[in-house]
C-alpha cells in the first residue's frame, strides 16, 4: 500500500491466520479492543478517520481488517453456498491470530452480516455488536416480506448477475474518472447522501478502497445462472454477491444464540443502498420501470430490508437479548463518515455501557 493512502497515526500490518494472509489497519493504545469490518466494494481505508477518533478517547485499540478479496488481503474464492460464513470464519481466524481479549465488533453494510454470522458461529467472544447500515439478515435482493421469504425458490433477482456490468468493468479497469458508473460517481451518489462530499484527499483514498475490490470469478461479483423466473437470472455458487442471496443466507439463528451480546443498530434515514426502497434492489427497480417485465408487487415486491432487520432484532430482544436502534437524519449509507461526531458519541457510550 502506498503511504499516501494512510493517515498519520494509522499503521498497516499483515498477519498470517490459519485461513489466509490478512492485512489490517491499527491505531490506539487503549485497553479495550474494537474491530471494524468493512462492507462490499470498500476496504479498511474507509475507517481511518473514525479509527483515529476512537483512539483519541484513550480507551480503545482499534483494528480494521481487509476481508478476503478486498484491500491488501489475500484473494480466495468465496463459497457462496455457505452464506457469509467464509468471512465470519476469516474474522474468527483474524482475532485468534492477534490473540484479542473480548472485543467490541462493528460491521458496516456487508460487514453487519459478517458480524451477525460471527455472533452465531462464535458465541461469547464479542462484547457487543454494532450494526452500521447493516445488510438484511436475509441478504440482498430476492426476498419479499419481514420474515425474509424468498420471492422465488431459486432466488432469481439476487446474486452476482444483478450487479451493473458497466460498474464491474469500471472496477476491472481501475477507472478513477467521473463517468456515470464509475466508483467515484457511485460513491458520491449512493455511499453518501448528496450533496455531502468529503475532501478531495479523502475522496481519492476512498476511490482507491473501492478499486481494491478484486474482480475475479470467485470473488466479485460472482457467477450467475439463467432462470425461468423474472428477471431471468439466479445466483451461482461463488462470490460475494451470491453469498448474500437468500438462497444461501438466512441469519435468523441470531435470535436463538445463548450468549446474546447487546446490539446497537444505527443507520442513515436516507440510505439508498440498504432500504425498504433500495436503488440497488431488483424488486424496487422493477417497480420504478427501470427493469422491464416486472410481475408486480403481489409477486415481486421491493425487499423490505430495514423492516427485516428490525423484525429480527425485535425477536432477538423478545428472546432475552437487547438492542437499540438509532436513525440518523440527513444521512446516507456511511454514517461513520457523514456523521462522525454523532456516531462516535453513540458508539462510545454504548461500548462503555457494556
Measured in whole angstroms, the distance separating CA 273 from the mean position of its chain's CA atoms is 11
Give me the pLDDT at residue 130, please.
99
Give me the pLDDT at residue 84, please.
98
- Are 233 and 225 contacting, i.e. CB atoms less than 8 angstroms apart? yes
The kind and range of the H/E element at 200 are helix 200-211
* 134 grid coordinates: 447493516
What rounded mean pLDDT belongs to the chain? Answer: 97
Give me the pLDDT at residue 1, please.
52
Question: What is the pLDDT confidence band of residue 306, given thresholds at 50, 70 and 90?
Answer: very high
Give me the pLDDT at residue 155, please.
97
Residue 340 gets the label, from left (phi > 0), alpha (psi -120 to 50) or beta, of alpha
pTM surpassing 0.85?
A: yes
The kind and range of the H/E element at 23 are strand 21-27
Question: What is the pLDDT confidence band of residue 3, given thresholds at 50, 70 and 90?
Answer: low
- Are 304 and 140 contacting, i.e. CB atoms less than 8 angstroms apart? no
Measured in whole angstroms, the distance separating CA 312 from the mean position of its chain's CA atoms is 17
pLDDT digits (tens, 9 = 90+) for 157-193: 999 999 999 999 999 999 999 999 999 999 999 999 9
Give me the pLDDT at residue 4, please.
87
- Are 261 and 126 contacting, i.e. CB atoms less than 8 angstroms apart? yes
* Contact residues for 33 (Cβ-Cβ < 8 A; gap 6+): 60, 61, 62, 63, 100, 101, 103, 104
Strand order in the sheet with 60-65: 11-16, 21-27, 60-65, 32-37, 103-108, 126-132, 263-268, 323-328
pLDDT digits (tens, 9 = 90+) for 6-61: 999 999 999 999 999 999 999 999 999 999 999 999 999 999 999 999 999 999 99
In the chain, what are the domains? Answer: 3-352 (3.40.50.1820)
Amino acid at each position: 500500500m502506498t503511504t499516501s493512502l494512510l493517515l498519520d497515526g494509522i499503521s498497516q500490518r499483515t498477519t498470517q491466520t490459519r485461513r489466509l494472509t490478512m492485512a489490517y489497519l491499527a491505531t490506539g493504545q487503549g485497553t479495550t479492543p474494537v474491530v471494524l469490518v468493512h462492507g462490499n466494494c470498500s476496504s479498511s481505508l474507509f475507517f481511518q478517520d473514525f479509527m483515529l477518533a476512537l483512539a483519541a478517547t484513550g480507551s480503545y485499540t482499534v483494528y480494521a481488517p481487509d476481508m478476503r478479496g478486498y484491500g491488501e488481503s489475500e484473494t480466495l474464492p468465496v463459497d457462496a453456498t455457505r452464506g457469509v460464513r467464509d468471512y465470519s470464519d476469516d474474522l474468527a481466524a483474524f482475532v485468534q491470530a492477534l490473540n484479542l481479549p473480548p472485543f467490541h465488533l462493528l460491521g458496516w453494510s456487508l460487514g453487519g452480516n459478517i458480524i451477525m454470522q460471527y455472533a452465531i458461529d462464535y458465541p461469547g467472544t464479542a462484547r457487543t455488536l454494532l450494526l452500521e447500515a447493516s445488510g438484511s439478515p436475509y441478504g440482498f435482493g430476492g426476498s419479499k416480506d419481514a420474515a425474509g421469504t424468498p420471492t422465488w425458490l431459486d432466488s432469481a433477482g439476487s446474486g452476482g448477475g444483478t450487479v451493473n456490468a458497466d460498474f464491474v468493468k469500471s472496477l476491472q479497469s481501475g477507472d478513477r474518472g467521473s463517468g456515470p458508473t464509475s466508483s467515484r460517481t457511485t460513491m458520491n451518489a449512493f455511499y453518501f447522501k448528496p450533496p455531502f462530499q468529503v475532501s478531495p484527499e479523502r475522496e481519492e483514498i476512498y476511490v482507491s478502497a473501492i478499486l481494491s475490490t478484486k474482480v475475479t470469478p470467485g470473488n466479485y461479483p460472482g457467477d450467475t445462472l439463467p432462470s425461468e423466473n423474472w428477471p431471468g437470472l439466479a445466483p451461482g455458487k461463488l462470490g460475494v454477491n451470491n453469498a448474500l442471496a437468500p438462497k444461501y443466507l438466512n441469519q435468523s439463528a441470531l435470535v436463538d444464540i445463548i450468549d446474546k451480546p447487546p446490539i446497537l443498530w444505527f443507520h442513515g434515514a436516507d440510505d439508498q443502498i440498504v432500504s425498504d426502497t433500495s436503488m440497488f434492489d431488483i424488486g424496487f427497480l422493477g417497480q420504478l420501470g427501470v427493469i422491464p417485465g416486472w410481475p408486480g408487487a403481489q409477486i415481486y415486491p421491493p425487499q423490505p430490508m430495514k423492516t427485516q432487520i428490525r423484525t429480527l432484532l425485535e425477536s432477538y430482544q423478545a428472546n432475552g437479548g437487547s438492542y437499540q436502534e438509532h436513525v440518523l437524519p440527513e444521512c446516507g449509507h456511511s454514517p461513520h463518515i457523514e456523521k462522525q461526531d454523532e456516531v462516535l458519541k453513540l458508539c462510545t457510550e454504548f461500548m462503555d455501557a457494556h
